[in-house]
Amino acid sequence: MSVTSPTPTLIADIAAEIGYADIAAAPEEYTAMIAGMLRVYDALDAVPEDDTRPGRAPVEYRIPSGTEDPHHAWEVRTSVRGAEVGPLAGVRLGVKDSILVAGVPMRNGSAELSGFVPDEDATVVTRALAAGAEIVGKTTNEYFCMSGGSHTASSGVVHNPHRMGWSAGGSSSGSAVALVTGDADMTLGADQAGSIRMPASWSGVVGLKPTYGLVPYTGIATLDASFDHVGPMTRTVTDNARLLSVIAGPDGFDPRQRDVVVGDYLAQLDEGVTGLRIGLLREGFGTEHAEAAVDRTVRAAAEGLRGAGAVVEEVSVPLHALAPALWTAIAIEGMAETVLRNQGFGFGRLDRYPVDMMQRLLDHRGDADAHPANVRLFTLVGAYVDRQAGRLHYAKAINRARVLRAAYDEALSRFDVLVTPTTPQTARPLPDPAHGAGAAIGASIEMSANTTPFNVTHHPALSVPCGTVDGLPVGVQLIGKHFDEATLFRVGRALERV
């Protein structure tokens, strides 16, 4: 896409907006210089494109009917077959619709990307196919992944697999539901605030947010590079470890990956928990919106670990109660920057940019009227804070996240795993549109108090089903040391047994 030469009037308008009053009054000289500088973009297009990640021709797909997919777990169904042999041979894999699959439509929950078909795969897709998986569809997710509920996707709400009319959790809503309905054996989700763990908790499956950078985020729609994670969602802990074993490790593109340590996630899976120290994180219980029955169910699960030989004690990290505020300060500016100004991606990183997707978002960046209430709120407050304080609060939050990380690290120096409820409550009814923006926004964020902290601090966190309350699943969240997913799986497997 070439950049056309500007007129003096346009340069005068831009200069006035920036505050260059002298140029705004006499823009002709700068207009001529700018026109000369724009020739660089013609030279840019003369450089051959990087073709190291070949795509595939469009593949056949279909939009499932309401009869076939009553919970709306799927955006499209398809079949992209991987290698004939490998550790995932025969596995039917669902892929969250924020993750690029070449030749298959992707909308990331939005109206802006409706009809977009990417021309390359995300790294996690390439690795899963090489391991033998068959991609059987793209699963429904929230609008730009900006909700913990399951009610904002432009294609419609996603229903809880255990109770129609109730939320499945988000934003990886369909990736959780497709496991419970049996339409997929494993799925991929993405997690910026709990978007793997929250639907895992409310739908009753296993979901892992890996250590930051362990799994490459290349080829996935971002919200802010400081807290982007992608990971496995499965029905069992063993399958979660299997899928992580395939997708983990550096890919040479993702700048989030630094000093990555890939473990053997299956070797110690069934060794039990005798001697392991489990810390019940005091501030993770009795939080706002908490249900006492959920807290009791998670504590009972911890007692089961004690019965299996673990040492279980309470531990306090007072900053845990303030951690969601740090996440929010980062997210307000980060999400507004990504959604409003940067065509869905950040800048200043040696990343692999999906230019085709960015072009699509540029072409439709004026289509903001379709944004749901929660997206409108975040982008509005982001724009307002930017006018008031620039990026100061984002910078403060990133810096202070190191203090929060150190507080959890200190607790984890005394315990192998920390425990909280994944979500403070079981699934809630889908919000009634008649109740207005406030109800819709509340239903997007009320479940995230225990998940957002670990997106900021980058610790791995695993949600495992541990019981039910009134017929709805309860998830226990296990938090571990950086790159120690193997211990989380070991404890999660013990929970499954007890």
pLDDT digits (tens, 9 = 90+) for 130-161: 999 999 999 999 999 999 999 999 999 999 99
Of 32-46, 207-221, 276-290, the poorest mean pLDDT is in: 32-46
Phi, psi of 112 (to 5 degrees): -60, -35
Query: Does residue 46 or residue 444 have the better pLDDT?
Result: 444
Active site amino acids: 96, 171, 195
| CA dihedral angle for residue 479, residue 482, residue 488, residue 490, rounded to 10 degrees | -150
Looking at residue 369, what is its pLDDT? 86
Q: Is the pLDDT of residue 395 over 70?
A: yes
Mean pLDDT of 231-256: 97
Query: Within the chain, which residue ranges are assigned CATH 3.90.1300.10?
Result: 61-497
> Which tokens sit at 225?
């590079």
Cα–Cα separations (whole angstroms), residue 98 to 129, 145, 342, 414: 17, 8, 16, 37
Q: Which is nearest to 394 in space by CA: 344, 335, 445, 318?
A: 335
Report yes or no: 419 and 281 within 8 Å, Cβ to Cβ.
Answer: yes
Q: Which of 362, 335, 428, 369 lies closest to 144, judged by CA? A: 335
Residue 362 binned pLDDT confidence (cut-offs 50, 70, 90):
confident
Q: What is the C-alpha to C-alpha distance for residues 247 and 253, in angstroms, rounded to an integer?
A: 14
The residues facing 208 across adjacent strands are 462
What is the predicted pLDDT for the residue at 88?
98
Which superfamily does 61-497 belong to? Amidase signature (AS) domain (3.90.1300.10)
The strand pairing partners of 92, in sequence order, are 134
The 10s digit of each residue's pLDDT in 39-53 is 888 888 888 887 777
Q: pLDDT: is 345 or 316 the higher one?
A: 316
pLDDT of residue 51: 73
User: In this predicted structure, what is the pLDDT of residue 464?
Assistant: 98
CA 29-35-40 angle, to 5 degrees, is 135
Q: Express the helix, strand and coil content of the chain in percent, nearest 5 each.
A: 40, 15, 45
Give residue 339's pLDDT.
75
Residue with the bigger pLDDT between 95 and 331: it is 95
> Exposed, middle or buried by CB within 10 Å (0-12, 13-18, 19+), for 97?
buried
**In whole angstroms, what is the distance from residue 312 CA to residue 429 CA?**
34
- pLDDT, residue 2, reads 67
DSSP per-residue codes, 121-185 = --HHHHHHHHTT-EEEEEE---GGG--SSS---TT---EETTEEEEE--SSSHHHHHHHHHTS-S
Q: Across residues 164-188, what is the average pLDDT?
A: 98
> Are 223 and 331 within 8 A, CB to CB?
yes
Cβ atoms within 10 A of the Cβ of 39, count?
12
H runs (alpha helix) in 308-412: 323-336, 355-363, 373-389, 392-412
- What single-letter amino acid sits at 415? F
pLDDT in tens, 285-300: 999 899 999 999 999 9
Q: Among 81, 127, 99, 126, which residue's Cα sits nearest to residue 242?
A: 127
Token pair in block for residue 144: 């730009």
Q: What is the mean pLDDT of residues 368-387?
A: 87
Q: Which two tokens stand for residue 110?
A: 């939005």
Please provide the average confidence, as pLDDT, over all residues in the chain. Answer: 94
Share of the chain above pLDDT 90, in %: 81
pLDDT at res. 113: 94
Q: Residue 41 has what pLDDT?
A: 83
- DSSP classification of residue 337: I
Q: Closest Cα to residue 128, out of 251, 269, 244?
A: 244
Among 266, 295, 300, which residue's Cα sits nearest to residue 283?
Answer: 295
